[in-house]
Structure 1
């Protein structure tokens, strides 16, 4: 697995500004977290979609290719960092479901 954090620089109100990904050896997304300008978030996994966040249907380009596009600032993160963020967002999601 590979873990990426991507800052998306844009002025679009309804699109995320941070995308955090877990991708498999074939470069398919397996889990995704999207964070929006207003603090809202979406998450996706094979059997989970929240706030219209969905896993991509095609392999993700290599990090170097993504980084060539000036609107994206991408970096590799650790599995530990990804999983900490994922757990935090899942806990918020579960609280939302209970309310």
Structure 2
């Protein structure tokens, strides 16, 4: 189910840190705060968080998500909006197919 009044974000993080995610997908409320998040790590594992739980070292941001242009102004990030259906597919996979 895609929730109304939300938008979805993918950020690819280009780096060499072994323990940091290489892709971050977020569900963002109109207030700019993350509601749910999935992080994909270089080894393929997925961490996730929602407003009640944090799994695999993933947590929601404590400040609002910056505008896409601000994220993309940093060379190591490539940010874009994605559809809610795409986010939901990854979210279900992160939760183990639930």
Would the TM-score normalized by the shorter structure come out above 0.5? yes
Structure having the larger proportion of residues in helix: 1
Is 1:46 the equivalent of 2:51?
A: yes
Distance 2:63 2:7 in 1: 16
Distance 2:10 2:72 in 1: 11
Distance 1:23 1:81 in 2: 14
Provide the aligned length of Structure 1 versus Structure 2.
93
Q: TM-score, normalising length from structure 1?
A: 0.89
Q: CA RMSD in A?
A: 1.1
Partner of 1:97: none
What secondary structure sits across from 2:21 in the alignment? coil
Partner of 1:23: 28
Structure having the larger proportion of residues in strand: 2
What are the ranges of 5 or more consecutive residues in structure 2 without an aligned counterpart?
A: 1-5
What are the ranges of 5 or more consecutive residues in structure 1 without an aligned counterpart?
A: 95-99
Deviations 1:12-71 (A, max 9, x none): 010000000011001101000000001111000011100110001111101111011110
